[in-house]
Amino acid sequence: MERETQVIARGLRRRDPEILDRLIERYHYRLFRYLLCLSGNRETAEDLFQETWLRVLERGTQYDGKSKFEAWLFTVARHLVIDLQRRRQFRFLDLLDAESDAQPPTIVQDQPSALERVAQRETSEWVGAAMAGLPASYREVLVLRFQEDMALEEIAEVVSAPLPTVKSRLYRALEAMRQLLAGGQA
Amino acid sequence: MKDESHERAQKLLVAARVESLRAAEQAWLDSHLAACGDCRTYAESLERTLAALHSFHAPVNPALVDATRRRVQLRALELRRQEAGLRTLWVSCALSWLLGVASAPLLWWAFQWAGQRLDIPRVVWITAFGFWWLTPAVAVGAALAWQGTSTWQENAEAGSIFRLRRGVPPCERNAGKD
């Protein structure tokens, strides 16, 4: 039996509208969550969401069906985010490159905590607010690992970084997130 | 208990959430946690962080999904149309080239015969033959170049939602809001 990823790859090569429709239906939530985490801004995420699917349509021939579709999809989305950063001194996004690894976020306890700032809101909004305090490269690995449940190797492929870099980024991101949330609960 | 052991325990607690620990590390961590309240609190805090991350929900506006579907469908049709047009042009080009090659000896003979019959200098009728033979290839090449350029322009315009949707990138739209 043909693997699902190969069916997707064949459909993308043919620019099959049905396959694209099914892919949008299936992955829209995950893609949007990834873009929202990366951009930290809903309007930007919405623009990037549309552009990502158009890019999937146009560059669909590049997907070989050997890896998971979602890993390729997130790679496409990531490149668009980086393009946007390059086009503009982008105010919503800090750099996704390795520079942000060298500077772990400073957790300032005197400032209003995440919980104080979004008191009475839903947990996800609280988490979102806390995540906004992290560098984009940290938010990215957190969402890929703990929301997408991706393997470390897949994350390395998506973010185009060596495995040790991904691991250390994850360690720092998790600890920073813990501090932010703990600060919010204090 | 030494500070280093707490530090090690906390590093291992984070590492355990990212990748699996070796059996010896896990055994050491378990025994440390059994005796250390601070590190147990740290472990609970990490668990709450992970639970919070799992609970993060980002609802998508259904109108956005519908609009994206429509846009992608339209663009898919457009790209298919472009590809079909290009394919036709390439087939025409290939046929033209084949016919040109196949008819070249006959055409050469015809030009030679006409040149001798009308007493035209050899260099003139050879040049005329060259022009005659090259004209279809030049015409098809020009058509391909034109088609390629206009397709590229169309794709570049259609490729950016920012230009199509609201006229300016979001970063520019939001400029001045803060």
Mean pLDDT, rounded, for A9-14: 91
Q: Given this model, what pLDDT does residue A84 score? A: 85
Is pLDDT above 70 for B150?
no
Nearest to B17 among A131, A174, A181 (CB): A174
Lowest-confidence region among A7-11, A158-162, A170-174, B51-55: B51-55
To the nearest whole Å, the CA of A67 is away from the closest chain B CA by 21
Closest chain A CA to residue B50: A146
Task: Domain count for chain B, please give it.
Answer: 2
Lowest-confidence region among A113-127, B60-74, B110-124: A113-127
Lowest-confidence region among A94-98, A179-183, B17-21, B126-130: A94-98
Domain ranges, residue B21: 3-55
Across the interface, do A43 and B170 touch by the CB < 8 Å criterion?
yes
Question: Domain spans of chain A?
Answer: 4-87, 98-185
Two structure tokens written together for B23: 């059996």
Question: Do B46 and B127 sit in the same domain of this protein?
Answer: no
Lowest-confidence region among A117-126, A166-175, B133-142, B145-154: A117-126
Closest by CA to B76, choosing from A7, A19, A25, A57, is: A57
Q: Is residue B112 part of a domain?
A: yes
- pLDDT, tens digit (0-9, with 9 covering 90-100), for B23-71: 999 999 999 999 999 999 999 999 989 988 888 888 889 999 999 999 9
Q: Is residue B178 part of a domain?
A: no
B126: Cβ contacts below 8 Å, ≥ 6 apart: B111
Average pLDDT, chain A: 81
Q: Is residue B80 part of a domain?
A: yes
Between B139 and B156, the more confident residue is B139
Mean pLDDT, rounded, for A98-103: 46
Is pLDDT above 60 for A105?
no
Q: Is residue B133 part of a domain?
A: yes
Question: Do B107 and B34 sit in the same domain of this protein?
Answer: no
Q: Give the architecture (CATH level 2) of A4-87.
A: Orthogonal Bundle (1.10)
Question: Do B102 and B17 sit in the same domain of this protein?
Answer: no
Across the interface, do B165 and A37 touch by the CB < 8 Å criterion?
no
Question: Do B108 and B71 sit in the same domain of this protein?
Answer: yes
Question: Do B67 and B136 sit in the same domain of this protein?
Answer: yes
Q: Given this model, what pLDDT does residue B142 score? A: 81
Mean pLDDT, rounded, for B90-99: 82
How many inter-chain contacts (A to B, CB under 8 Å) are there?
A: 142
DSSP string, chain A: ---HHHHHHHHHHTT-HHHHHHHHHHHHHHHHHHHHHHHS-HHHHHHHHHHHHHHHHHTGGG--SSS-HHHHHHHHHHHHHHHHHHHTT-SS----SGGGGGSPPP--TTSPPHHHHTTTS-HHHHHHHHHTTS-HHHHHHHIIIIIS---HHHHHHHHT--HHHHHHHHHHHHHHHHHHHHHHH-
Q: Given this model, what pLDDT does residue A168 score? A: 92
Q: What ipTM does this complex have?
A: 0.76
To the question of domain A98-185 being in CATH 1.10.10.10, the answer is yes
Q: Is residue B90 part of a domain?
A: yes
Q: How far is CA B34 from CA A178, B2, B20, B22, B52, in A?
A: 22, 15, 20, 18, 25
Question: Do B78 and B146 sit in the same domain of this protein?
Answer: yes
Question: Do B48 and B111 sit in the same domain of this protein?
Answer: no
Q: Is residue B81 part of a domain?
A: yes
pLDDT band at A130 (very low <50, low <70, confident <90, very high): confident
Q: Touching check for B163 and chain A: CB below 8 Å?
A: no
Is pLDDT above 70 for A114?
no
